[in-house]
Amino acid sequence: MATKTRNEQPGRPGRRPSLNADHTAVLRTIIREQPRSSLGEVTRELLRRAGVKVSTVTVRKALREAGIERLKPLRRAGERAAVQGVAPVRYGYTAAHRRRDGASGMNTDLTDAEWALVADLFERDGQRGAPARYERRHMVNACCYALRTGCAWRLLPKTFPPWQATYKSFSRWAAAGVFEAMHDRLRQQWRDRMGRAPEPTAAIIDAQSTRSTAQGGDTGFDAGKKVKGRKRHLVVDTLGLLLAVTITAASVQDRDAAAPVVALACAKVPTLQKLYADAAYGGKCATAIAEAHGLSVEIVRHPGNRSTGAWQDAQQPLWPEIVPKGFVVQAKRWVVERTHAWNERARRLIAHHDRSNWAPVAWVWLAEARMLATRLAS
């Protein structure tokens, strides 16, 4: 007579598996969308999508039973083939970038079309007090000149209002958030022109270390980038348009400064649902952001990252990925890198010339707003 096992005995059915076939299907969808995610990120995404809370060991076992395994990329030195028969393309400053000189004699002035988009934010019509001694448009043009050229306030050309009055207006507008309001208005108009919703649902976060000058202020040393100065933390939408910015010392780690800037972005744009970040924000930082703001945080890693590798489904066999050495364009991540490049067109943002913490933030908002005004008026 055959002996019954424990699971076959009546009244003692055994332990039910934590993950069923539906959960396995969700896992396949997750690794198909995020093939380079870590095991912890897959577990967290399974909880968000299916509402089942299990350990990473259980997820690893379910993936193995489903034929899904992690493959490490193969490294091979890539050779850049010479392109034959292609006409050379000229990059850099061309005639298309040249603007006509404004009333101050500088081509950094706002045109009539650009000023019409934001004039009501700076004018004082209907307010009490003595009339303005200098035109607000000329004051804004002076700020744009200092932003583009990076000159000191005292070295403003005499065609602009006195530097004391210009700096006082700049500090007052920065404290009132006028530059940020200017950018937010133009950002919504540009998204509407591009056929997007007024408010985004996905964002990208990244930081950039820039050197400081002898002015001093809150500075530090970034041991990874070998830069002594400050660090700009940006959150942008999928078009590369700014949502939030904070300034810290360069010694502050990206993961430690992520919470404040993400909180600012979520407060301004409640529709955010997805956040893309690099490996510096992975682990506990991504988990804390996801729990605090209800966002789905996806870590975009380099294809040659051998710490996590890439998930491969046995039902869809692929050859191991061969990743060339050097720079590789990463999905979504390149958007925020391009925003950093846009900011560095303004020489005021190449280095930190201000001792205060509020002035660098105002310069970033003005630089991004200036770019959008040019786009919308052209």
Classify residue 26 by burial, with Cβ atoms within 10 Å: 0-12, 13-18, 19+: middle
SS3 for 341-365 is HHHCCCHHHCCECCCCCHHHHHHHH
* The pLDDT of residue 323: 60
8 A C-beta contact, residue 46 and residue 59: yes
* The pLDDT of residue 253: 94
Q: How far apart are CA 213 and CA 228, in angstroms?
A: 9
* The pLDDT of residue 127: 64
- Taking the alpha carbons at both ends of the chain, their separation in whole angstroms is 89
* The pLDDT of residue 327: 61
Single pTM value for the model: 0.77
* The pLDDT of residue 123: 84
Residue type, 173: W
Q: How far apart are CA 341 and CA 31, in angstroms?
A: 32
Cβ-Cβ contacts under 8 Å for 30 (sequence gap 6 or more): 37, 42, 45, 46, 49
Mean pLDDT by runs of 10 across the 378 residues of the chain is 47 73 91 86 90 91 88 54 51 68 84 94 73 89 95 94 95 96 96 94 95 86 91 95 96 94 96 92 91 91 72 64 62 88 93 91 97 92
Instruction: Name beta bridge partners: 313.
Output: 68
